[in-house]
């Protein structure tokens, strides 16, 4: 009788442990799926405003550059956290998730930029801005210098200029 009770108890314990699945694997699957969806999206889709940043190397100014007229987008954005934006800003990344934008912002801060996150409420996209300027030519030069600094980062080659509208 005791053997039967011990055997029955052991069988119940084995069934209890094998029927329970870890919640960690479900979380990990959801995280991986979200990461794959984010990677499938275009890295830079809309401009974002950035706090004043003077960390971008100064490039010799020219009165007209071909890149100064390309890659400029107008958006209405609001700064998330501390920082201010001038009329033109250099955007190095765009995300639907604020946590992803914050991760890139931390990377840019550790690289020496005074990056800022801005939200476009119309598209619900977070923009990571590395520098901001009062004029378009300075922003274009900063964008080109940023791209030249990271020639092997395809995501940074999509950096663009945000023209802030109110």
User: Is the same domain home to 21 and 74?
Assistant: no
pLDDT of residue 119 exceeding 80, the answer is yes
- Domain extent, residue 33, equals 2-40
In a domain, 47, yes or no: no
pLDDT-derived band of residue 118, with 50, 70 and 90 as boundaries?
Answer: very high
Q: How many domains does the chain have?
A: 2
pTM above 0.85, yes or no: no
In a domain, 59, yes or no: no
Average pLDDT over the chain, rounded to an integer: 80
User: Is the same domain home to 82 and 138?
Assistant: yes
In tens, the pLDDT along 57-78 reads: 444 443 333 344 467 999 999 9
In a domain, 55, yes or no: no
In a domain, 60, yes or no: no
> Residue 85 belongs to a domain with what CATH number?
3.30.70.1070
In tens, the pLDDT along 126-152 reads: 999 999 999 999 999 999 999 999 999
Q: How far apart are the first and last CA of the chain?
A: 82
Question: How many residues make up the chain in this entry?
Answer: 166
In a domain, 46, yes or no: no
């Amino acid at each position: 009788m005791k053997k039967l009770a011990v055997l029955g108890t052991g069988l119940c314990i084995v069934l209890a442990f094998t029927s329970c699945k870890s919640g960690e694997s479900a979380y990990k699957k959801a995280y991986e799926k979200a990461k794959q969806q984010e990677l499938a999206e275009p890295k830079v889709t809309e401009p974002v405003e950035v706090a004043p940043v003077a960390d971008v190397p100064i490039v010799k100014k020219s009165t007209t550059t071909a890149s100064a007229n390309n890659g400029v987008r107008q958006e209405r954005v609001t700064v998330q956290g501390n920082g201010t934006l001038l009329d033109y800003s250099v955007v190095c990344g765009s995300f639907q998730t604020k946590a992803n934008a914050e991760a890139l912002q931390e990377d840019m801060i550790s690289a020496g930029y005074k990056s800022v996150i801005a939200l476009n409420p119309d598209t619900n996209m977070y923009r990571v801005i590395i520098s901001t300027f009062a004029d378009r030519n300075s922003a274009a030069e900063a964008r080109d210098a940023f791209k030249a600094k990271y020639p092997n980062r395809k995501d940074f080659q999509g950096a663009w200029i945000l023209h802030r509208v109110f």
